[in-house]
Amino acid sequence: MDVIVCLKAIPDLKQIRIKRETREPVLEGVPLVWGDMDKNALEEAVRLRERHGGKVTALALGGTRLKEAMIEALAMGADEGVLLVDPLFQTYDTAGVAKALAAAALRLPRFDLILVAEGSSDSYSGQVGPRVAEMLGLPQVTYAREVSVEGSVLRAVRSLEGAFEVVECTLPAVVSVTQEINTPRLPALTAILRASRKPQQAWSAADLGLADTPVLVERLRNLAPQQERRNILFEGDDAEDRLVAALLKDGAVSC
């Protein structure tokens, strides 16, 4: 079976600094990494290919730096990479991203399954997968923690609040996965070396016929939460007792 995995490269959250004056994140020089659940989706695609044969295509939208990040996806087991690279893509909201991914899926020779993350590690909107399914007119399964395929039927265990749900649908389909579905593999050095020789291709907005895609939602600001420190220093032999008393008074702790 041929599986498309939609990946999102985000700035490494561990390396982002915040401007104290404006509370804005500093993204210059921060490397791009795949989100944690994106790696779960890729791992599940590779496992399905190992069981059923076929091909795994890693599909990602973003800027020119995607080519470096794609090497990791290829090292983890993807057979080929498709990069959607265009300055116009940088302005897209979730609706535009889903439209671009759906158009790219239709441009590929064939696919049986599209896997996406439950949500991205940065904005976590959870909209892209369902939007892609709607645009392609395909059945969708969300919050999947187990996936199996028999013939043209996909069975998934969905993780809901306080319960699990088992569902079935016919292929092709779109499935969003949770982190519980697997533990992504760490690529060996030999896999990393082979990854650079795997095929990659890049498509622009014009290639997908999306030059006039409108932006429905505009991001105005992206600010870190405002934090205020009391700057109270407790000294002396009874510092611990006075600290506990102050925390109790402020309601920060309770007995």
Q: What is the pLDDT of residues 48-105, one digit of tens each?
A: 999 999 999 999 998 778 888 899 999 999 999 999 998 888 888 889 999 999 999 9
Q: What share of the chain is helix, strand, coil (3-state, %, to 5)?
A: 30, 30, 40
Token digits for 253? 């702790």
**Separation of alpha carbons 47 and 140, rounded Å:** 20
For residue 227, is it within any domain? no
Q: How many domains does the chain have?
A: 1
Query: Could you list the residue range(s) of the whole structural domain that residue 122 is in?
Result: 2-203
Amino acid 92: pLDDT: 85
For residue 12, is it within any domain? yes
For residue 83, is it within any domain? yes
pTM to 2 decimal places: 0.83
Provide CB contacts within 8 A for 158, sequence distance 6+.
141, 142, 143, 144, 145, 164, 165, 166, 167
The pLDDT tens digits of the residues spanning 90-126 come to 888 889 999 999 999 999 999 999 999 998 877 778 8
Instruction: Please check whether residue 102 is in contact with residue 135, taking contact to mean a CB–CB distance below 8 angstroms.
Output: yes
For residue 6, is it within any domain? yes
For residue 40, is it within any domain? yes
Provide CB contacts within 8 A for 168, sequence distance 6+.
153, 154, 155, 156
Q: For 89, which DSSP code?
A: G
Q: Tell me the CATH number at 135.
A: 3.40.50.620
For residue 145, is it within any domain? yes
**Separation of alpha carbons 99 and 102, rounded Å:** 5
In residues, how long is the chain?
255
For residue 21, is it within any domain? yes
Amino acid 64: pLDDT: 77
Instruction: Please check whether residue 210 is in contact with residue 100, taking contact to mean a CB–CB distance below 8 angstroms.
Output: yes
| CA distances, 170 to each of 49, 145, 175 (Å) | 18, 18, 12
The pLDDT tens digits of the residues spanning 137-196 come to 999 999 999 999 999 999 999 999 889 999 999 999 999 999 999 999 999 999 999 999
For residue 250, is it within any domain? no
